[in-house]
């Protein structure tokens, strides 16, 4: 692929809208391209940068985290260290989310077994149960 790619060519490679590429420029993830006759022209290095952005997004990283990947380390910090540090945090975040999802699943299954005649009855049971759990926690 040649240098001096039009924004539409870059967008096509990654299945993006041109507005997404302009937004990446705006927030600093993608450096501003050279202009030729008023049109953006990208070097091949922009494709490499966008490939990293795309992989990071597929891995669950936010745009702020991706910006940190590029700019949140000393310039001499090698990519493996950058990926490792950010991945460690993301894995911890995912573990917390999975724990929360498991709790949500348990609560939903409990709700499926509801035998109350009115929602107020549910509320009464829930309030009573949470009160007992708080009292039990204080006794520990």
DSSP sequence for 64-118: HHHHHHHHSS-TT--HHHHHHHHHHHHHHHHHHHHHHHHHHHHHHHHHHT---SS
Predicted confidence (pLDDT) per residue in 24-75, tens digit? 999 999 999 999 988 999 999 999 999 999 999 999 999 999 999 999 999 9
46 neighbors 10 (Cβ within 8 angstroms): yes
Residue 133 has pLDDT above 80, yes or no: no
Crossing angle for the helix pair 63-71 and 79-112, to the nearest 10 degrees: 160
Res 1: pLDDT = 56
Q: Dihedral through CA 48, CA 87, CA 98, CA 63, nearest 10?
A: -50
Give the predicted TM-score (pTM) of the model. Answer: 0.76
Q: List the domains of the chain with CATH numbers.
A: 1-62 (1.10.1660.10), 73-140 (no CATH)
Kindly state the average pLDDT of the residues 105-115: 91
Which two structure tokens, joined as six digits, stand for 100?
């929360």
The yes-or-no verdict on residue 94 having pLDDT over 90 is yes
Mean pLDDT for the stretch of residues 98-103 = 96
């Amino acid at each position: 692929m040649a240098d001096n790619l039009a924004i539409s060519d870059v967008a096509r490679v990654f299945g993006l809208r041109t507005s997404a590429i302009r937004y990446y420029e705006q927030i600093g993830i993608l450096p501003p391209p050279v202009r030729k006759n008023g049109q953006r022209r990208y070097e091949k290095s922009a494709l490499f940068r966008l490939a990293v952005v795309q992989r990071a997004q597929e891995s669950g990283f936010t745009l702020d985290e991706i910006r940190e990947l590029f700019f949140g380390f000393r310039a001499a910090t090698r990519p493996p260290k950058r990926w490792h540090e950010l991945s460690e945090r993301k894995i911890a975040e995912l573990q917390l989310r999975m724990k929360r999802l498991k709790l949500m699943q348990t609560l939903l299954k409990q709700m499926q077994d509801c035998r109350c005649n009115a929602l107020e009855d549910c509320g009464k049971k829930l309030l009573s149960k949470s009160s007992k759990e708080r009292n039990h926690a204080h006794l520990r």
